């Protein structure tokens, strides 16, 4: 069973308690607050371009790491084989 309350149900319940005008103001305030929070959250999501940039940087670091480790291994093997 869902505990969610629709805007209409909230308005009707508040209308009985505090009056229609105050209930309307409160429901509009809550809608605006929820919309604002949703916009804040969606601005945090990664875009496709962000993901492409991350993949490019990861690839660059992998290549760099492989190059450095290969150099170290070559230097150690050269010293060991002499």
Q: How many CA atoms lie within 13 A of 67 on its CB side?
A: 6
Q: State the alpha helices, DSSP H only, in 1-82.
A: 7-18, 20-42, 48-81
Range of the domain at 68: 46-82
Report the pLDDT value the prediction gives residue 55, as an integer from 0 to 100: 93
Tell me: do 50 and 39 sit in the same domain.
Answer: no
Tell me: do 1 and 41 sit in the same domain.
Answer: yes
**Phi, psi at residue 19, to the nearest 5°?**
100, 155
Tell me: do 3 and 24 sit in the same domain.
Answer: yes
Tell me: do 39 and 53 sit in the same domain.
Answer: no
Tell me: do 6 and 40 sit in the same domain.
Answer: yes
Tell me: do 22 and 55 sit in the same domain.
Answer: no
Task: Report the distance separating Cα 51 and Cα 82, nearest Å.
Answer: 47
Number of domains observed in the structure of the chain: 2
Tell me: do 39 and 72 sit in the same domain.
Answer: no
Tell me: do 35 and 55 sit in the same domain.
Answer: no
The two three-digit tokens of residue 28, written as one number: 């509009």
**pLDDT tens by residue, 19-76:** 888 888 888 888 899 888 888 877 777 778 888 999 999 999 999 999 999 999 999 9
The label of the residue with tokens 């050269």 reads 78
């Amino acid at each position: 069973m869902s505990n969610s309350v629709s805007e209409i149900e909230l308005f009707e319940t508040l209308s009985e308690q505090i009056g229609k005008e105050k209930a309307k103001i409160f429901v509009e305030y809550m809608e605006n607050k929820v919309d604002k929070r949703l916009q804040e959250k969606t601005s945090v999501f990664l875009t496709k371009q962000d993901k492409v940039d991350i993949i490019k940087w990861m690839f660059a670091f992998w290549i760099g790491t492989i190059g450095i480790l290969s150099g170290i291994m070559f230097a150690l093997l050269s010293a060991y084989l002499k």
